[in-house]
């Protein structure tokens, strides 16, 4: 398995990580727990060392799942989790954002127990909290690092200015945001800031929540609990209009003997050597397909062809409904 280092931090991880959210969150029915534990351990056998979870996934159950699955393999893996939400511990109800320093420390203690680890490898702020200065957030994580409870600090969906302000207090190891061939807003300011400051970048939804695999079309139906049923970009009309993106990936894939998903991941990997995508998988064959992207070589001519073609395609549909998009800091 190829390895990559997240920025200047010397945090070495597999060139592809594994997003674990959908193993116990936002699904109906929730996948079988033992099957997911087996999948997580199979990922390690295949060389995946970077796993992504969060307290809000489940909530709480995703961290417990990842913790149980990876406990016997602790020395081989890097586990990232996230803070920043107010969750009622009794009901699991989400009550808004909360990145107050005292809350961050409470979340860290609870995550350590659920993950069965002595230190959290990478602790992201899940979303920028408009009510708490980012310097206070970075300072709280800095204290956790000094106490040995956290190893690295990360931000998710943060804008370039926020990243700079946080980094001045506690060096940021990684920024996680949505990034794929059909969502490239981070290219304007966030990626240049990461490059300048020596911060790694971790794209989530690198396959467009499944759309870039080519296996979703206007006739696909989503369960009501599936987030895609509520997103403008996944209406039947938008899915039909956006087929041009899939056609492009399929065309390049035919030339390379690769699937659309593998081309989409290979494109991300080719952007910068400090980019580590975290596609989510719940099936071993999908995991193997994603890992196969590491063997796909996109030459400069291929990348130019993709860039030219994608510049002529206008992707239809917003990423999130307006109220959710406002929660991001980009």
Give catalytic residue positions. Answer: 57
CB 280 within 8 A of CB 308: no
Query: Do residues 205 and 234 touch, judged by C-beta distance below 8 A?
Result: no
Peptide bond into 110 cis (omega under 30): no
Query: What region, left, alpha or beta, does residue 315 occupy, with left being phi > 0 and alpha being psi -120 to 50 degrees?
Result: beta
Q: How far apart are CA 141 and CA 2, in angstroms?
A: 30
What residues contact residue 52 under an 8 Å CB cut-off, 6+ apart? 17, 18, 19, 20, 21, 80, 81, 176, 202, 204, 278
Q: Output the CA–CA distances (angstroms, integers) from residue 16 to 166, 200, 269, in the order listed.
A: 26, 13, 9
Ranges of H-type helices in the chain: 33-45, 61-70, 101-115, 134-146, 160-169, 190-197, 236-241, 243-256, 260-271, 284-291, 300-311, 322-325
**SS3 at position 14:** strand
Nearest to 111 by CA among 162, 167, 58, 156: 58
Strands 150-156 and 120-125: parallel
């Amino acid at each position: 398995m190829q390895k990559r280092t997240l920025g200047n931090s010397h945090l070495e991880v597999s060139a592809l990580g594994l997003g674990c959210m959908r193993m116990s969150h936002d699904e109906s029915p929730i996948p079988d727990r033992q099957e997911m534990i087996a999948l997580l351990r199979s990922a390690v056998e295949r060389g995946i060392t970077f796993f992504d979870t969060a307290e809000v996934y489940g909530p709480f159950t995703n961290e417990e799942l990842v913790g149980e699955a990876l406990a016997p393999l602790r020395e081989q893996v890097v586990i990232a989790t996230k803070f920043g939400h107010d969750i009622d511990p009794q009901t699991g109800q989400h009550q808004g954002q909360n990145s107050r320093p005292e809350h961050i420390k409470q979340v860290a203690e609870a995550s350590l127990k659920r993950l069965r680890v002595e230190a959290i490898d990478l602790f992201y702020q899940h979303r920028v909290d408009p009510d708490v200065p980012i310097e206070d957030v970075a300072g709280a994580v800095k204290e956790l690092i000094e106490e040995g409870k956290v190893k690295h600090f990360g931000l998710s969906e943060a804008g370039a200015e926020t990243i700079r302000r946080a980094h001045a207090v506690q060096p940021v190891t990684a920024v996680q945001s949505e990034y794929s061939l059909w969502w490239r807003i981070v290219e304007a300011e966030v990626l240049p800031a990461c490059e300048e400051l020596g911060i790694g970048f971790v794209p989530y939804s690198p396959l467009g929540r499944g759309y870039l695999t080519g296996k979703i079309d206007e006739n696909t139906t989503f369960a009501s609990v599936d987030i895609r049923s509520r997103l403008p970009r996944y209406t039947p009309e938008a899915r039909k209009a956006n087929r041009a993106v899939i056609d492009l990936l399929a065309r390049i894939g035919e030339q390379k003997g690769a699937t659309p998903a593998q081309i989409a991941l290979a494109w991300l990997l080719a952007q910068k050597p400090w980019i580590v995508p975290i596609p989510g998988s719940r099936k071993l064959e999908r995991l193997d397909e994603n890992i196969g992207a590491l063997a796909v070589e996109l030459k400069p001519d291929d990348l130019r062809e993709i860039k030219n073609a994608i510049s002529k395609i206008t992707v239809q549909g917003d990423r999130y409904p307006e109220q959710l998009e406002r929660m991001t800091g980009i």
